[in-house]
């Protein structure tokens, strides 16, 4: 039987995909136990991705966080600019082991698409990336990056034309071409075993961060904070601290224009349990179980579902989740840029806003570990326009 997280997770998929999911589970279990795979992955993480990613003490930014010690886990410094590459390298290797020469992926902000196109180039795999048409507009530079890397980018012009619809289209492709194709899902959502596979490949963030924090300050942090779209960077860093009951885990969702406005991506404060894209989890849905469109200024958080393990952590109270509005995230984006010289991704800016909120609450004795999941270069257009820096908008 496949993995559930309490009442969440499972497999809600067309029968046609069951065989491929079983095959993936088996390949994953075998690879995990295979020291050759372990060495291959470790080598790529070190020499290609650039791991371990550093831990930066953000002394200046700390002033904005009630004086709390702020430690930044710098996933923004990975090759391709975000944590997405951790999972992609792992799954691309699995695809190779399964003898599947073609990769397909969905992407929202474009980071996962870029990472997948990168791995496909490295391993000589064919690559097609589905991206909502609205997102191809918001993230035009990433579209070009994927194409430069040799991937085919397919804009999806149905439904809400965002990440949710890109996943639908990727699933349709997979149902049709499952024999030679691996669906390289980018986050801890989807049918089993994806949440488990992606968490495994992202857990290196938490392992490294735990060691780095202990080495640096000689104790565990009081809180670990991350942004939560699908939730892979959060699962990655949380997984290093799940067994440490004194470490609080905080996930920050896209609050958009505020939960009350209805325009947000806050599945926990503005959604309810349901089934979407292969798993039972918290989703945004209307009174009839139809998926409601999500919204966030950050394309990577603009998704109406969330990883099923997060739903379980939410229900058990092990992790807490709060929305951060567009405005709060943009204030944090600016604060980190100005105080530390680090332009975070808009997704990560939600975690930084959370750290500001939490630090002010916990005070100067607190130590807060923040996952900076990606860098903000891709968001410069959005930020410039938000802050009125573009010509004609001054």
Partner 1 sequence: MNAIAAAFEKAAQEDRALLIGYWPAGYPDVDSSIRIVEAMIAGGVDLMEIGWPYSDPVMDGPTIAVAADEALRAGTTPSDVLRVVAAAHSAGAAAAVMSYWNPIEHYGVSAFAKALNVVGGAGVITPDLVVEEADAWREATNRFGVARIFVAAPSSTPERLRLVAEASDGFVYAASMMGVTGSRAVDREAQDLVARIRPLAHTPIAVGLGVSTRQQAAQIAGYADGVIVGSAFVRIFQRSGSLEEAEAGVQALATELAQGVREAGMAEVEEYE
Coil vs helix vs strand at 161 = coil
Q: Decide whether 182 or 378 has the Cβ nearer to partner 1.
A: 182
Question: Residue 261, Cβ neighbours under 10 Å: how many?
Answer: 12
Q: Decide whether 278 or 300 has the Cβ nearer to partner 1.
A: 278
Among 5, 8, 13, 233, binds partner 1 (CB under 8 A): 13
Sheet holding 126-132, edge to edge: 152-156, 126-132, 102-107, 181-183
Alpha carbon distance 310, 324 (integer Å): 17
The residue annotated as part of the active site, out of 75, 106, 328, 347, is 106
CB of 264 to partner 1, least distance (A): 17
Among 74, 84, 128, 164, binds partner 1 (CB under 8 A): 164
Q: Decide whether 8 or 250 has the Cβ nearer to partner 1.
A: 8
Under a CB-based contact definition with an 8 Å cutoff, are residues 115 and 83 in contact? no
Among 88, 171, 204, 266, binds partner 1 (CB under 8 A): 171
Decide if residue 176 touches partner 1 (CB under 8 A). Answer: yes
CB of 276 to partner 1, least distance (A): 7
To the query of whether residue 82 is one of the catalytic residues in this protein, the response is: no
Question: Residue 310, Cβ neighbours under 10 Å: how many?
Answer: 30
To the query of whether residue 164 is one of the catalytic residues in this protein, the response is: no
Under a CB-based contact definition with an 8 Å cutoff, are residues 201 and 273 in contact? no
Alpha carbon distance 254, 235 (integer Å): 16
Q: Which range in 25-33, 164-172, 204-212, 374-382 contacts partner 1 by CB under 8 A?
A: 164-172
Site residues for partner 1, 20-39, by CB under 8 A, read: 20
Decide if residue 105 touches partner 1 (CB under 8 A). Answer: no
Q: Decide whether 45 or 187 has the Cβ nearer to partner 1.
A: 187
Under a CB-based contact definition with an 8 Å cutoff, are residues 273 and 266 in contact? no
Decide if residue 284 touches partner 1 (CB under 8 A). Answer: no
Decide if residue 262 touches partner 1 (CB under 8 A). Answer: no
Alpha carbon distance 27, 5 (integer Å): 21
Q: How far is CA 6 from CA 9, 189, 278, 302, 326, in A?
A: 8, 15, 16, 25, 32
Under a CB-based contact definition with an 8 Å cutoff, are residues 265 and 271 in contact? no
Q: Which residues are catalytic?
A: 84, 106, 373
Site for partner 1, rule CB under 8 A? 1-2, 10-16, 18-20, 158-159, 164-165, 168, 171-172, 175-179, 274-278, 283, 285, 288-291
């Amino acid at each position: 039987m496949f993995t559930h997280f309490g009442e969440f997770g499972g497999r809600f998929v067309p029968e046609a995909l069951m065989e491929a999911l079983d095959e993936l589970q088996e390949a994953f279990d075998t690879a995990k136990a295979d020291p050759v795979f372990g060495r291959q992955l470790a080598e790529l993480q070190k020499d290609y991705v650039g791991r371990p990613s550093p831990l930066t003490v953000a002394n200046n930014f700390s002033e904005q966080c009630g004086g709390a010690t702020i430690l930044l886990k710098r996933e923004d410094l990975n090759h391709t600019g975000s944590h997405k590459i951790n999972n992609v390298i792992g799954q691309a290797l699995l695809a190779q082991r399964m003898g599947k020469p073609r990769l397909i992926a969905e992407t929202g902000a474009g980071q996962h698409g870029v990472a997948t196109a990168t791995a496909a180039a490295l391993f000589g795999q064919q690559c097609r990336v589905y991206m909502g048409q609205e997102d191809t507009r918001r993230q035009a530079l990433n579209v070009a990056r994927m194409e430069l890397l040799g991937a085919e980018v397919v804009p999806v012009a149905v439904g809400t034309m965002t990440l949710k619809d890109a996943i639908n289209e990727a699933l349709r492709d997979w149902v049709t071409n499952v024999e030679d194709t691996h669906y390289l899902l980018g986050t801890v959502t989807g049918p089993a075993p994806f949440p488990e596979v992606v968490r495994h490949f992202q857990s290196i963030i938490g392992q490294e961060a735990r060691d780095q924090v202990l080495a640096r300050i000689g104790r565990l942090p009081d809180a670990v904070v991350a942004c939560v779209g699908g939730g892979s960077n959060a699962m990655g860093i949380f997984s290093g601290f799940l067994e440490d009951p004194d470490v609080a885990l905080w996930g920050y969702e896209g609050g958009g224009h505020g939960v009350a406005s209805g325009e947000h991506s806050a599945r926990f404060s503005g959604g309810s349990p349901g089934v979407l894209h292969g798993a039972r989890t918290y989703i945004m849905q209307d009174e009839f179980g139809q998926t409601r469109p999500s919204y966030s200024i950050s394309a990577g958080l603009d998704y109406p579902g969330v990883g099923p393990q997060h739903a379980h952590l939410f229900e058990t109270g092990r992790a807490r989740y709060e929305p951060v509005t567009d405005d709060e995230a943009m204030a944090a984006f600016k604060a980190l840029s100005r105080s530390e010289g680090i332009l975070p991704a808009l997704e990560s800016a939600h975690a930084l806003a959370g750290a500001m909120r939490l630090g002010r609450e916990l005070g100067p004795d607190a130590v807060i570990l923040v996952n900076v999941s990606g860098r903000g270069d891709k968001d410069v257009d959005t930020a410039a326009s938000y802050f009125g820096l573009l010509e004609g908008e001054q």
